[in-house]
Amino acid sequence: MDLGRARGNLKEKTIYTKGVEPFGYQTNGISPRNFNPAFSIPRMALDDININDYIIPKGWKVLVWTRAVHMDPETYVNPKDFLPSRWDNQKLKAGSFLPFGAGSRICPGADFARLSIFIFLHYFLLNYKLEQINPGGPIVYLPYQRRADNCLANIIKLQPSLHLPSPSC
């Protein structure tokens, strides 16, 4: 049986899908792992450094314990609980969220994701145009200048055109 038919035969929803569907876009908090597969990120101190009254001498090797980063209760309230709403308006400080790792052990899919986005944008910009729905709409100036309607647009597929060089006589 092919995957498409198998997937189509699933009529009833599981407890998991019933619980997740109401959250819509907030499910981006589901896919990152609580526990990174690389348990630590090795680093070497380039200078003597003082962190919370601990002196780490130059040349010492240290480990960034990723599990501790993602389970820090000062950053994430109830870090072990499933709370998709925690990502609403969340302002994270640098280094407090490492779902793809860092350094030489960064997720190998990160480059693939970047390339996929680049290819998508290439074909999208070649084959579609955006037409503003309300080009004369009001502009809001605070906290930054933008259209009041967030610049809503229609996506219009361009007709393929074949440009052949004309034969020279």
Residue 59 neighbours by CB distance under 10 Å: 10
Q: Give how far Cα 41 sits from Cα of 26, 50, 88, Å.
A: 28, 19, 28
In the DSSP assignment, the letter for residue 29 is: G
107 known member of a binding site: yes
Label each residue of 145-162 as H, E or C.
CEECCCCCEEEEECCCCC
Q: ∠ CA(92), CA(83), CA(68), 5° rounding?
A: 55
> Are 62 and 43 spatial neighbours (Cβ–Cβ below 8 Å)?
yes
> H-helix or E-strand containing 131?
strand 128-132
SS3 128: strand
Binding-site residue positions for heme: 107
Residue numbers belonging to the annotated binding site: 107
